[in-house]
Amino acid sequence: MRAFVFPGQGSQSVGMGQALAGASRAARDVFGEVDEALGQHLFKLMSEGPDEDLRLTANAQPAIMAHCIAVLRTLGIDLPSKAEYVAGHSLGEYSALAAAGTFGLAETAKLLRIRGDAMQAAVPVGVGAMAALLGVDIALAEQIAAACAEGEVCEVANDNDPTQVVLSGHAGAIARVVERAKEMGAKRAVSLPVSAPFHCSLMQPAADRMAEALAAAAMADPAVTLFANVTAAPTRDAATIRDQLVAQIIGRVRWRESVSAMANAGVTQFVEVGGKVLGPMIKKIAPDATTVSLVSMDDIEAFAKEL
């Protein structure tokens, strides 16, 4: 069994998709459709930068999605015949749903622009922060978060793999995490260069905004079963997915549990579309599974021969 998985924010880089667009009409069409939907030369920004503009949440989110779908359409497969499941890490869930036909491409781009703007606007710059804990499991990460909160928000944002958990919340609480985590048993704690505290309760204004946007969005049941971030469980119901995407804004990204559940359901191959960040996490969670990363034309052509 096979799952196609899609990376989240942080996987963007200047030059992304440029070589692919040069080699693939399908990729060029994707980038053109996203540009038109957003009324922006996003592909030019992806190709040429500057990096600080591409890293802005409102640009990075639709850019990463566009790159993923460009890779998938260049591969040119009927996804339901080649994959039992799809999943995505945070914003990657939108890429997964676009791949599975829940949203159209233009609709996905517009939703991600709203999502990026709303997440950035939810908390004033400097009020929130995030930190990655390395060498911890989820139980220890939760203990560290609770000990460092001291009346402020300090919550698990991403349960990435058995050795990496990301915390999110007020800047003061996250500073205490970075200061104290090692003495509490973590190997390291690293502040993340993010502009807002994603996936914690401080994001409630963004969740409210996405509830409005998703209520107005056209949605269909996915053609391939989705493993959702907030439940780490499968679903093929559009109404359920709508609610889960709202909850995802403030909820924990249960990536470790999602991969484990897919492996337990029989997935033996995970195909990362448009990035190389999820594969190493997956190998720590499901070491017996194989992983494939599709970014370049060479990657795509080699994988197509396997199918």
Please provide the DSSP assignment of 146-171 as one string.
Answer: HHHHTTS-EEEEEEEETTEEEEEEEH
What is the pLDDT tens value at each position of the chain, 307 positions in all? Answer: 999 999 998 888 999 999 999 999 999 999 999 999 999 999 999 999 999 999 888 999 999 999 999 999 999 999 999 999 999 999 999 999 999 999 999 999 999 999 999 999 999 988 999 999 999 999 999 999 999 999 999 999 999 999 999 999 999 999 999 999 999 999 999 999 888 899 999 999 999 999 999 999 999 999 999 999 999 999 999 999 999 999 999 999 999 999 999 999 999 999 999 999 999 999 999 999 999 999 999 999 999 998 8
2-122+202-306 adopts what CATH topology? Malonyl-Coenzyme A Acyl Carrier Protein; domain 2 (3.40.366)
DSSP conformational letter for 195: S
Residues recorded for the chain: 307
User: Which residues sit opposite 131 in a β-bridge?
Assistant: 167, 191
Is 90 a residue of the active site?
yes
Phi-psi bin for 104: left (phi > 0), alpha (psi -120 to 50), beta? Answer: beta
DSSP conformational letter for 219: -
What is the domain partition of the chain in residue ranges?
2-122+202-306, 128-194
* pTM of the complete model: 0.96
In the CATH scheme, what is the code of domain 128-194?
3.30.70.250
CB 59 within 8 A of CB 49: no
DSSP conformational letter for 184: G
Rounded-to-integer distance, Cα 275 and Cα 292, Å: 10
Tokens of 291: 């992983």
Tokens of 171: 């800047």
Q: Return the pLDDT at 56.
A: 87
Name the residue among 122, 24, 107 with its Cα closest to residue 73. Answer: 24
**Candidates 168, 199, 258, 293; catalytic one:** 199
Is 47 a residue of the active site?
no
Name the residue among 243, 233, 237 with its Cα closest to residue 223. Answer: 237
Q: Return the pLDDT at 76.
A: 96
**Candidates 90, 95, 168, 258; catalytic one:** 90
Beta strands 85-88 and 225-227, pairing class:
parallel
DSSP conformational letter for 185: T
Q: Return the pLDDT at 193.
A: 84
Identity of the amino acid at 205 = P
- The sign of the dihedral angle between the CA atoms of 55, 5, 31, 36 is negative
Identity of the amino acid at 199 = H
DSSP conformational letter for 253: B
Tokens of 227: 């493993």
Strand ordering across the sheet containing 225-227: 234-235, 225-227, 85-88, 2-6, 269-273, 290-294
Name the residue among 173, 183, 190, 185 with its Cα closest to residue 135. Answer: 185
